[in-house]
Amino acid sequence: MKTMNILKRFSIANWSRQFATSCRRFPVALCLLLFLTCFLVFMNHGGKVESHWQFFYIFYPATGALLAVSLRLLTEDFKSRVMSVVTQVVAHAAWLGISVYLTQFDKFSLPQFIAVAATIVTMVLSVFLLCFYRRNDDVPFWNFSVNVLVAIGAGCIVGGVLTLGLILFVQSLDWLFGISIDDCVFADIPSVCMVLLAPLLTMNLIPDGEDKRISQVASYPGFINGVIQYLFIPLLLLYMATLYIYAIKILTSWQLPVGWVCYLVSASMLGMVAVIYLTYPLQHEQGNTFFRQVTRWMPLAMIPLLALMTVAIGRRLSDYGITVSRLYVLVFNIWCYVVCIGLLLVRNKRIWWVPALFAVVLFLISVGPQSIPNITQRQLLDEARKAFAATVAGQLPLSGEQYNRWLDSVDPKVAAAIDGKLDYLDRDFGYVSVSALVGRDVITGAYSIEKGAVDYTLVNLNYYNNDMIAAVIIPQGFTTVSVVNVQIDTTLEKGNDKLQLIVESPIDAHKEYRFELTIKQFADLDKEKNPDRVQPIVARNQEAVLMINQYAFHIYGNLNCSVTCSGILFTR
């Protein structure tokens, strides 16, 4: 196989020929990686680029190079060169457009982040899968996958060793000869070695031609064979046996499983798939019945555990409602059923479809209006909107005072459920997701069903605006400007949300300035709720003005309050 052969026949001439071949094979990926490396070096040496374009110049070349490798592996077997070129051009144009679109966002929403992450994972899996979608034999796919993994490992190891070696060499010039090296060079070395050279080595080792279609089953050394047979498989069987014992306990005690069962069953399922993949060549060896029989019936033994996982997921959804993570776990559970039943039907002879199905399902549930994040957001907003429509007489969005009155006026279970949903949306999807229902001064997630009211012990707000100080303008009538830090610990009066910030004068130790703020003002200024805010936080009295650029606000048991903030104090 190509990877093993190149590693064995190491020579400058051989590697030069292979490098030239790789450049002709992956020209788009090479150009993108070269651009990315040059841009990183440019930034290391103090280059200035707008922040959103910084993202584009890093994100697109990195992901575009990955896409280029996947497309090349797919299209190099096309009979029509025109179809090959058109496929690559259309895919790259689409991804370029998506990357440009993403540059307009300073911060990804949860659906955007998940969609981008799922797309990148799909690209990674496509490197292994796309060039084998038409084959009826999975042995070449298994051999190719092993070679690609070896190529990635070799690229990372060589790149890492080269990076550390060059950094040590440059540092030794200072230690031994007193030659001062600019710090930028230490950033340039990993930029070149890990961003350019390591991927080039990996692409150089990816099998091509006949090496990509080897149908001969590789044999494991005896040591690896023994590790799989006497370590991996017994551990997995022991793990599954433990879950069976727990399932029997549940049946005898007639109680529902707890949530962590999902993680244990998921780990067992992934372990089973890993064992089937690791033993795939061993299952084809003549006379080797152990691996064939064990892996043949593992999927059947896994199905009752998946049923246990289904019950646990159903309980979580029934008790607490839907969230993005719970729906993903549910879809993963369904995927596990399909994999186990499919492996039983094909008797583990076909394995290509398992990661292919995972990639397709992941993409479909993560990208587009039908994605799980978008479905979750629409469902939770619809539930909150219906609850408000049935009980709220005025117009939306509700102010903080109106929202608190609404919480007091409805059934505590309804109040807790809607408050929890709004808090989940606000926290994971951003304030913009709930802006049509509640105002910025609304504090969600602090309703206590036991107390039947807002529990301020759950409040925790933060704000920062590091750009404010650099652009500050001295108000008219003030002459003294000072940077101040304030910390207070006090106890709130029940029903009174007013706070007093006491700032000691940096000039006169016997003078202090008092400013009054409220909890609602802190909530309104919370950075997570208002990420685009550019105006400073201003507190005034007759003698001074306090402009706050950062604060942390927390209320804990018995209405004890802690506030830490920093900013600029203007005095007359």
151-168 per-position pLDDT tens digit: 999 999 999 999 999 999
Same structural domain for residues 432 and 545? no
Statement: residue 520 has pLDDT above 60: yes
Statement: residue 485 has pLDDT above 60: yes
For residue 134, give both structure tokens.
């038409």
Quick one: 336 exposed, middle or buried, by C-beta within 10 A (0-12, 13-18, 19+)?
Answer: buried
pLDDT category of residue 89 using cuts at 50, 70 and 90: very high
Instruction: Identify the residue whose tokens are 């910084």.
Output: 54
CB atoms inside a 10 Å sphere around CB 411: 11
Rounded average pLDDT over 403-426: 90
Instruction: Identify the residue whose tokens are 């109106």.
Output: 402
CB atoms inside a 10 Å sphere around CB 352: 19
Statement: residue 99 has pLDDT above 70: yes
Statement: residue 530 has pLDDT above 60: no
pLDDT category of residue 310 using cuts at 50, 70 and 90: very high
Same structural domain for residues 387 and 495? no
**CA-to-CA distance for 131 and 70, rounded, in angstroms?**
9
What value, to the nearest 5°, has the Cα angle with vertex 254 and ends 252 and 257?
Answer: 105
Per-residue pLDDT of 226-280, as tens digits, reads 888 888 899 999 989 998 998 888 888 777 676 678 888 999 999 999 999 988 8
Q: Which of 456, 484, 455, 457 is nearest to 469 (CA)?
A: 484
Last residue of a domain, one of 454, 486, 503: 454
Between residues 478 and 32, which one has the greater pLDDT? 32
Last residue of a domain, one of 401, 434, 454: 454
Hey, which residues does 11 pair with through a beta bridge?
none
Rounded average pLDDT over 288-317: 89
b/e burial code for range 523-541 (CB count within 10 A of at least 16 → b): bbbbeebbeebeebbebee
**CA-to-CA distance for 95 and 56, rounded, in angstroms?**
12
Q: CA end-to-end span of the chain, whole Å?
A: 80
The backbone region for 10, taken as left when phi is positive above 0, alpha when psi lies in -120 to 50, beta otherwise, is: beta
CB atoms inside a 10 Å sphere around CB 307: 14
Same structural domain for residues 359 and 268? yes
Last residue of a domain, one of 184, 213, 242: 213
Rounded average pLDDT over 17-40: 89
Same structural domain for residues 251 and 358? yes
Rounded average pLDDT over 126-136: 87
Rounded average pLDDT over 377-401: 88
Per-residue pLDDT of 27-38, as tens digits, reads 999 999 999 999
pLDDT category of residue 470 using cuts at 50, 70 and 90: low
Same structural domain for residues 260 and 333? yes
Between residues 539 and 191, which one has the greater pLDDT? 191
**CA-to-CA distance for 442 and 495, rounded, in angstroms?**
16
Same structural domain for residues 288 and 404? no
Of the listed ranges 162-166, 436-440, 462-466, 564-568, the one predicted with least confidence:
462-466
Same structural domain for residues 205 and 236? no
**pLDDT score recorded for residue 563:** 82
b/e burial code for range 75-99 (CB count within 10 A of at least 16 → b): beeeeeeeebeeebeebbeebeeeb
What value, to the nearest 5°, has the Cα angle with vertex 550 and ends 544 and 554?
Answer: 105
Question: What domain range includes position 29?
Answer: 2-213
Same structural domain for residues 477 and 434? no
**CA-to-CA distance for 387 and 321, rounded, in angstroms?**
15
Per-residue pLDDT of 63-78, as tens digits, reads 999 999 999 999 988 8
Same structural domain for residues 477 and 387? no
Rounded average pLDDT over 492-510: 76
**pLDDT score recorded for residue 286:** 66
**pLDDT score recorded for residue 33:** 96
pLDDT category of residue 529 using cuts at 50, 70 and 90: low
CB-based contacts of 413, cutoff 8 Å, min separation 6: 449
Same structural domain for residues 199 and 107? yes
Range with top average pLDDT, 4-18, 44-58, 311-325, 364-378: 364-378
Statement: residue 206 has pLDDT above 60: yes
Same structural domain for residues 8 and 118? yes
pLDDT category of residue 476 using cuts at 50, 70 and 90: confident
The whole-chain average pLDDT of the chain stands at 85
**CA-to-CA distance for 116 and 331, rounded, in angstroms?**
19
Same structural domain for residues 171 and 44? yes
Q: Which of 487, 480, 481, 462 is nearest to 537 (CA)?
A: 462
Statement: residue 320 has pLDDT above 90: no
State the total domains in the chain.
Answer: 4
**pLDDT score recorded for residue 473:** 66
Q: Which whole-number Å values give the CA distances from 290 to 70, 226, 388, in the listed order?
A: 36, 12, 62
**CA-to-CA distance for 310 and 321, rounded, in angstroms?**
15
**pLDDT score recorded for residue 506:** 76
Contact (CB, 8 A) for 158 and 201: yes
